[in-house]
C-alpha cells in the first residue's frame, strides 16, 4: 500500500515511464508525494503519462537513454526545473528477440545499448549530485531472464545480467556517500512488451509460475517504491525477483 507523503518534496526520474511497468512506478511514486520526471522516446505519450499522475510538479521529457548526451541534458533540465534528483528508476527497455545464429548486429546492439547502456548513462548523469548531497536511491529494472537466460533472447538476457553487475558495482562505489543501488527482476508482467506473445503462450508460461498468475505492473511498482524509500535504508546491491516464484 502506498504511504501518502512518504516522498513529499523528493524528485524521481523514471525512464520508460510512459507505459507499462514504468507508468505504474511513476504513479506509485507520485501517490507517495514525489515529483516525477517521466522520460520516454515518444514525447506525447510521456506528457500524457506525466499529466495523469496524482499531485503537482511532474514533468516529461523525450530522451533516448541510449544517447549519453541526451541523458545528461535531461538530468540537467529536470534538476533545473523540478529540483535535485534523489530517486532514479532505470526502467526503459526493449526486446529484439531472435535465435542466436540469426541475431543481427543491430538487434544485439540496440538491446544492449538501451537496456544496459541506458542505465549506465542515466546513473552516471545523476551520481555526482546524489553523492554530493549524500542521498539517493537508484533502482534498475532487470528481468528474471537475466538470472536464468532464455532461448531466443541472448541479447536481452545479457543486457539484464549486465544490469546486475552494474547494480552491485554502483552499490559498492556509492555506498559510502549514502547512495543505494538495487535491481528488481520482474518475471512475466502484463504490458505491451508481453502482449505480443499472445494468449496461448501466456497460458503456457503461467504453468511455470508457482503463484499461478501473470504479474501486474503494480506488483513491481510497489517493490520499487519500497526500495526507493526509508524502509530500505539498509538494503543495497541486491537483485529482488518479483516473479511469482518463477525463478526459484
Ligand atoms: P513496455 O510496455 O514496452 O514500455 C517500454 C517503455 O520504455 C516505454 O515507456 C518506452 O517509451 C520506453 N523506452 C523504450 N526504449 C527507450 C529508449 N531508448 N529511451 C527511453 N525510453 C525508452 O515495457 P514494460 O513491459 O513495461 O517493461 C519495462 C521494463 O521492465 C523493461 O526494462 C523490461 O525489460 C522490464 N521487464 C518487463 C517484463 C514484462 O514481463 N513486461 C519482465 C521483466 C522485465 P515509448 O513509449 O516512448 O516507446
Q: What is the pLDDT of residue 105?
A: 98
- Contact by Cβ (8 Å): 59, 80: no
Q: What is the pLDDT of residue 202?
A: 87
Q: What is the pLDDT of residue 1?
A: 61
Any ligand 1 atom below 6 A from CB of 162: no
Indicate which residue's Cα is closest to atom 12 of ligand 1: 16
Q: What is the pLDDT of residue 28?
A: 98
Mutate to test the pocket of ligand 1, among 92, 241, 246 (most ligand atoms within 8 A of CB): 92
Q: What is the pLDDT of residue 197?
A: 83
199 has a pLDDT exceeding 90 = no
- C-alpha 248 – ligand 1 centre gap (Å): 24
CB atoms within 10 A of CB 169: 12
Question: Full-prediction pTM beyond 0.75?
Answer: yes
**Which residue would you say has higher pLDDT here, 2 or 145?**
145
177 vs 23, 55, 116, CA distance in Å? 29, 30, 23
Angle, helices 20-31 vs 43-52, to 10°: value is 30
Q: What is the pLDDT of residue 3?
A: 65
Q: For residue 15, which of 75, 84, 91 has the smallest C-alpha distance?
A: 91
Average pLDDT for the chain: 97
Q: Pick the catalytic residue from 120, 156, 188, 226.
A: 156
Mutate to test the pocket of ligand 1, among 15, 19, 114, 220 (most ligand atoms within 8 A of CB): 19
- Contact by Cβ (8 Å): 139, 89: yes
Residue 51, Cα to own-chain centre: how many angstroms?
Answer: 20
pLDDT digits (tens, 9 = 90+) for 204-248: 889 999 999 999 999 999 999 999 999 999 999 999 999 999 999
156 annotated active-site: yes
Mean pLDDT, residues 28-46: 98
Any ligand 1 atom below 6 A from CB of 96: no
Instruction: Return all residues near 117 (Cβ < 8 A) that are at least 6 apart.
Output: 65, 66, 68
Strand ranges for 31-123 from DSSP E:
35-40, 59-62, 85-90
Indicate which residue's Cα is closest to atom 6 of ligand 1: 16
The DSSP code for 55 is S
Q: What is the pLDDT of residue 2?
A: 62
Mean pLDDT, residues 90-106: 98
Q: What is the pLDDT of residue 201?
A: 86
| Residue 109 pLDDT grade (very low, low, confident, very high; cuts 50, 70, 90) | very high
| Residue 196 pLDDT grade (very low, low, confident, very high; cuts 50, 70, 90) | confident
Q: Locate the ligand 1 atom nearest the alpha carbon of residue 45 and give its number.
A: 46
Lowest mean pLDDT among 49-63, 105-119, 169-183, 196-210: 196-210
Query: Residue-wise over 129-144: b if at least 16 C-beta within 10 A, else e?
Result: bbbeeebbbbbbbbbb
Query: Residue-wise over 178-188: b if at least 16 C-beta within 10 A, else e?
Result: ebbbbbbbbbb
Amino acid at each position: 500500500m502506498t504511504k501518502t507523503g512518504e516522498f513529499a518534496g523528493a524528485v524521481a526520474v523514471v525512464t520508460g515511464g510512459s507505459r507499462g511497468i514504468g507508468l505504474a512506478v511513476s504513479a506509485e511514486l507520485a501517490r507517495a508525494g514525489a515529483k516525477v520526471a517521466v522520460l520516454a522516446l515518444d514525447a506525447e505519450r510521456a506528457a500524457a503519462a506525466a499529466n495523469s499522475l496524482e499531485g503537482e510538479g511532474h514533468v516529461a521529457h523525450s530522451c533516448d537513454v541510449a544517447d549519453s548526451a541526451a541523458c545528461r541534458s535531461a538530468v540537467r533540465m529536470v534538476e533545473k526545473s523540478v529540483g535535485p534528483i534523489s530517486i532514479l528508476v532505470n526502467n526503459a527497455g526493449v526486446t529484439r528477440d531472435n535465435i542466436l545464429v540469426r541475431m543481427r548486429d543491430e538487434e544485439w546492439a540496440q538491446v544492449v545499448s538501451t537496456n544496459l547502456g541506458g542505465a549506465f548513462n542515466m546513473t552516471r548523469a545523476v551520481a555526482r549530485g546524489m553523492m554530493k548531497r549524500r542521498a539517493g536511491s537508484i533502482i534498475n529494472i532487470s528481468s528474471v531472464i537475466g538470472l536464468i537466460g532464455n532461448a531466443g533472447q541472448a541479447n536481452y538476457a545479457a543486457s539484464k545480467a549486465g544490469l546486475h553487475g552494474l547494480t552491485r558495482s554502483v552499490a559498492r562505489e556509492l555506498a559510502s556517500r549514502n547512495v543505494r543501488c538495487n535491481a528488481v527482476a520482474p518475471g512475466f508482467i502484463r504490458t505491451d512488451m508481453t502482449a505480443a506473445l499472445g494468449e496461448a503462450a501466456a497460458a503456457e508460461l503461467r504453468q511455470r509460475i508457482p503463484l499461478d498468475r501473470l504479474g501486474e505492473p503494480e506488483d513491481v511498482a510497489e517493490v520499487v517504491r519500497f526500495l526507493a524509500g526509508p524502509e530500505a535504508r539498509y538494503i543495497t546491491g541486491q537483485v529482488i525477483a518479483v516473479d511469482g516464484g518463477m525463478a526459484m
